[in-house]
Each structure stands twice: as C-alpha cells, then as structure tokens.
Homo-oligomer: A and B are copies of this chain.
Amino acid sequence: MGVRSVAISACGRGKIDTGVRWMAVRACGAAVAAVVALLSAAIALHWPPLHAVLQRAFSLHSAHSTKDMENFFQLVRNIVPALTSKKHKGQDGRIGIVGGCQEYTGAPYFAGISALKVGADLTHVFCAREAAPVIKSYSPELIVHPVLDSSNAVEEVEKWLPRLHALVVGPGLGRDDLLLNNVRGILEASKARDIPVVIDADGLWLIAQQPALIHNYQKAILTPNRVEFGRLWEAVLNSPVDTQGHSDSVLKLSQALGNITVVQKGEHDLISDGQQVLVCSQEGSSRRCGGQGDLLSGSLGVMAHWALLAGPERTNGFSPLLVAAWGACTLTRECNHQAFQKYGRSTTTTDMIAEVGPAFSKLFTT
C-alpha cells in the first residue's frame, strides 16, 4: 500500500493505474467477498495511515498529488459541454427538482438555482401547492409547478418528463404520506423513461422504506449524509452500519442496491458504483450550515445529464455517473471553501451559491 495512491484490484485488471490518485475496488463475482473482507481488515488495522493517504491523495493542497489529481479534473472537464453559438435554449440542460412542502421551501430553491448556475438552461420545480409561491418568490429564474400534493401529481409531472434531462428528488420533500406516495409514482415514471435521478434528503427516507423502488436502476444516484446512510444501510442490509465513512461501506451499500451510484457525504465524500470507490477530499471548510446538500444535488442533476451525454469514452472508461458525482462533490466543497474565506462562521448556503460560477471556472474551465 503505497503512500502516493491506494489501488486495489480484485481481478488484477481494469483502470486502476491510470495515474489518477483514487481508491478503486473492482469487484468480480465471488472473489470480491474475500477481498472486501481483507480490505476491511486492512482498513481496521491501518486506519491512521490510510486516512493520511486519502487526504494526500485528494487534496489539491498536497504538493505531491497535484499532477495526478489534474487527470481526474480533466475527466470532469471532458463531460462539460462546449458553449457554442449553434445551440438553442434548453440544450445544455432542463432539470426537474421534486420537492418543496409546507415546511421546506429553501431546499428546492437551492437545488434549482444551483443547477442553473452550474450551467443548466432551465429548471422546473415540482412542489406542494402551498410551497409554490414562496419558492417562486426566491427567484424569477425558476419555473415552479404547484402539483406535488394534488391527486393527479404523477400525471402532472409525467407530462413534463419528455422535456427533462434529469430529476433531483428529495430537496425539501418532507415525509407526508401523500407526497411520498406521489413521489413513488414519479420515480417509477422516470425509470420507465430512463431519466437519470439524483435522490437526496427525504427522497432517501422513501428509498429506505422501499429500496425496491430504485434497486438496480443504473441511472440513480443516492447522496446520503451520515444519518441517511445509516438508515439506508439498515434497511437494505438488515444490520446496523459498522464503519461509517469507510470505502467498504459505500461499496457494499451500492452493491446491495444493485450497483447504483452512492455518494456518502462526510469529512471526505466517498462515491461508489459497486465496482469502484472514489474519494473526494477537495478542501472545503468546517462550516456545516443547512442547504449545502441541496447545492450538491442540484449540481449533480445537471452534471449527471452531461456525463451520460458524454458517455464512458469521454470519462476514460469510468462510469460517467461516478465522474459526475466526483465533479459535483468537488465543486460543492470548493464553493464552501471560497465562501468560508469571505464569511467565516457566518457563511450560509446563499453565500456558497454565489461562488458556483467562480468555483466552476477555477476547477473545470480550461
């Protein structure tokens, strides 16, 4: 286990040694169980040095890792569509946000405006009737549909699906049974249309109740925080999660869900598609104000669309959704970092959203 990179291949093949510093586990059928067990043991025995390695590997601020990190930034740049005068409105992304209820109105706004500021052309928010005028009032840039608590919510959203490139489900959703039931129908309709779906917040609550809703859907990305990760783990693996924030946990959860992409947010963000685990340790800050997860999910909605459009030939064979997730995590952490430099402890998510443009340019514009 070298200092400069951590790369484990269960089958001794694949894209492990591309010069990018990442942690990768390729799981190949039966062989993986033993390897994962060994890895778990290794992690348990060597936590301090491994932790140090991850930090070195994924911090832009390590003199040793800058060059290799650059390769992974390049993969993100490869999925960002060119701005050309030949395009017309909508082509760089029409993103739907499903969420917004009586209590929560900020979250769907944060997700929607973040998608626009990353570069989507249009954002539609589908929320409960009562939440709509408030969400609209935050910004004239958002198109807001007050339909999520109506009896024909699924039909109302479904008629927009042919025009949407990706959905972000969960910001400000809450746990009202009527809304959750409608969201279940919307998820099923989205799967039927093969639309990429980012699921966060109480969208993950719904998935914890009914994991079959999303099991094996290869265009799903879940973005749990620590609590949500534990809840999903218990629901899917029928046991309390043992080691949070370890690469084997996110790998296992992804596999148990049929190899869908899971982003475990934390001190480092861990991202897995059940085959590989990427670590994002871009420098952020210690400020943990509410709403940062919405910036991540909204950014990821548009980047997931871009990545799937670009395809694996542009991501050096990596899963496009892994690259999109790594890009969105990196961007969110950089926004946090930049805002914290200006506002310190008083930083709020609005301050971070103001940094999306400059942070994106700094990280991903060549």
Q: Does A356 contact B (CB under 8 A)?
A: yes
Interface pair A360/B346, CB less than 8 Å apart: yes
Mask: chain A, 82-100; 1 = CB below 8 Å from B; 0 = not = 0111111111100000000
Residue of A106, A142, A292 with most partner-chain B CB within 10 A: A106
Q: Which residues of B contact A121 (CB under 8 A)?
A: 288-290
Report Cα–Cα, A347/B360, bound state, in Å.
Answer: 12
In the complex, residue of chain B having the shortest beta-carbon distance to the beta carbon of A281:
B85
Q: Which of A112-120, A185-193, A204-212 contacts B (4 or more CB under 8 A)?
A: A112-120
In the complex, residue of chain B having the shortest beta-carbon distance to the beta carbon of A267:
B85
In the complex, residue of chain B having the shortest beta-carbon distance to the beta carbon of A289:
B121
Q: Which residues of B contact A286 (CB under 8 A)?
A: 83-85, 87
The 14 sampled A-B contact pairs (Cβ below 8 Å) are: A85-B284, A85-B286, A103-B144, A106-B136, A106-B143, A117-B348, A140-B291, A140-B349, A141-B290, A141-B291, A141-B348, A141-B349, A346-B357, A347-B357
Q: Does A72 contact B (CB under 8 A)?
A: no
Interface pair B288/A116, CB less than 8 Å apart: no
Q: Does A365 contact B (CB under 8 A)?
A: yes
In the complex, residue of chain B having the shortest beta-carbon distance to the beta carbon of A123:
B290
Q: Which residues of B contact A227 (CB under 8 A)?
A: 88
Q: Does A57 contact B (CB under 8 A)?
A: no
Report Cα–Cα, A162/B119, bound state, in Å.
Answer: 40
Interface pair B287/A83, CB less than 8 Å apart: yes
Q: Which residues of B contact A284 (CB under 8 A)?
A: 85
Q: Does A58 contact B (CB under 8 A)?
A: no
Q: Which residues of B contact A134 (CB under 8 A)?
A: 133, 136-137
Q: Which residues of B contact A64 (CB under 8 A)?
A: none
Q: Does A47 contact B (CB under 8 A)?
A: no
A273 → chain B closest CB, angstroms: 24
Q: Which residues of B contact A67 (CB under 8 A)?
A: none
Contact partner, A133, options B84, B133, B292, Cβ 8 Å: B133
Q: Restricting to A342-357, which residues have a CB under 8 Å from any CB of B?
A: 343-350, 356-357
A288 → chain B closest CB, angstroms: 4
Q: Which residues of B contact A109 (CB under 8 A)?
A: 140
A86 → chain B closest CB, angstroms: 6
- 18 other A-B residue contacts (CB within 8 Å) besides A116-B346, A141-B289: A86-B267, A87-B288, A89-B290, A89-B292, A89-B293, A92-B288, A103-B144, A109-B140, A117-B346, A118-B346, A119-B345, A122-B290, A137-B138, A140-B291, A141-B350, A344-B361, A344-B365, A346-B360
